[in-house]
Homo-oligomer: A and B are copies of this chain.
């Protein structure tokens, strides 16, 4: 008997999955292993594979098979039907943007990124502005075409690529709640923390010892080094596929926490990827449910779990063991105070979990205005500085610590920023339910037991892959629609609690 249209589609998407895995490995290698002078060669390899992937995905054969499979879904199980939906979604996204536009965007972006690096180093926005204009124009075209094809507003179509099923209306509602509560909360927390600053933590923390500590913690969490690696790179990231996950972090010899927390962030991504449904590993329905949910898992790990007293209780003896340290500054309360310090800063990637959403909010508003044409590229620096002043009460001294700090716009990633803040909201909402369902969670974590955490996440998040939209997944896991409420309760509870209350 010959294969059904659905079965043939599974075969095609299995090949596409393998190509995506190869692309991911090429990117990992470029950031971690590749000789510095070989970027041109790698660029051509990536472009060739991406072209191939796009050609296979948008081939008439796939369209025909999708139509035939969808015409008769009798006999298909719910996972298969969801898989068919995700196949079509992926195809629709790919086919909506003509190859000519993609290739113009690829070229514009590769030039813009180089100029952005130069402009950022020199603090000269004027060098970057003409390239950013090119990129904005092309992304605007792309958003319009995507929007038409997906029947969404242009900006919503961009968001849909990263956070499927989440709309501008959802984001606006959450950001409104954050805007209302966070500025006052930040003021109050900073005031309280300044009145009792932690003992300073200083010293030299050799890379090899940091690595040994991180690997011990990652193993304890359940990361399998038989099917994954930890390396160092300029910016931490996770690449690879379930079955070969590559995590990186950045080690700072003067700071024992940056490397560990960077690795924990990426381990959050990795655990999600490793927990995706085994049977659907090489199919669209077996993938993660987009950037917002990915980011929720990394933030849940880095910000909520690792910056908690139970985790500090578990990790503190390990720090003492690996670095051979035991002064008063290494006591649990003091380490916890360091990990939960709130500061008004100009740089997003250095921000704590309380001020972070405000950085994202600013970018979200500015990128929407840039795309709509309401804000001209030349006026971006002033709008940025004004926004920082309004939201965080500080003003960049130059564009390097202002609108030139992030690479996202240079590489055409519009619609991506909201997923960072959405991730924080989702993480807090999941965590609230998790604590309800697993009442002994704190005791487990303080003993370095992660079973309760990952069983719950496995059942309610990981194991679903891309079977249901984000909103449905969240309703299933938390019995509530996505909102900022849990996040606000979480940060209020954590940052307004008196220091002594839980120290006993």
Contacts and interface: CB of A to CB of B under 8 A. Distances in A.
Interface of A: 14-15, 18-19, 21-22, 25-26, 29, 33-38, 40-42, 44-45, 47-49, 51-52, 224-229, 241, 243-244, 282
Contacts of A35: 224-229, 244
Contact of A51 (B15, B34, B42): B15
B18 A48 contact: yes
B21 A41 contact: yes
Given A18-B49, A36-B226, A44-B282, 17 more contacts: A15-B51, A15-B52, A18-B44, A18-B45, A19-B48, A19-B49, A21-B45, A22-B26, A22-B45, A25-B25, A25-B26, A33-B229, A34-B244, A35-B225, A35-B227, A40-B243, A41-B241
Contacts of A225: 35
15 contacts: A15-B48, A15-B52, A19-B48, A19-B52, A21-B45, A25-B25, A29-B29, A33-B33, A35-B225, A35-B226, A35-B228, A37-B226, A37-B243, A44-B282, A49-B49
A243 B21 contact: no
Given A22-B22, A22-B26, A25-B26, A244 B49 contact: no
B22 A49 contact: yes
Given A35-B226, A52-B52, A226-B35, A243 B19 contact: no
Closest 7 CB pairs of A and B: A18-B48, A38-B244, A41-B243, A37-B226, A37-B227, A22-B45, A18-B44
A15, A26, A36, A44 — which one has the most chain B CB atoms within 10 A of its CB? Answer: A44
A52 B19 CA distance: 10
A98 to B, nearest CB: 19
Contacts of A44: 14, 18, 21, 282
A29, A36, A282 — which one has the most chain B CB atoms within 10 A of its CB? Answer: A29
A25 B49 CA distance: 13
Contacts of A51: 15
Nearest to A44: B18
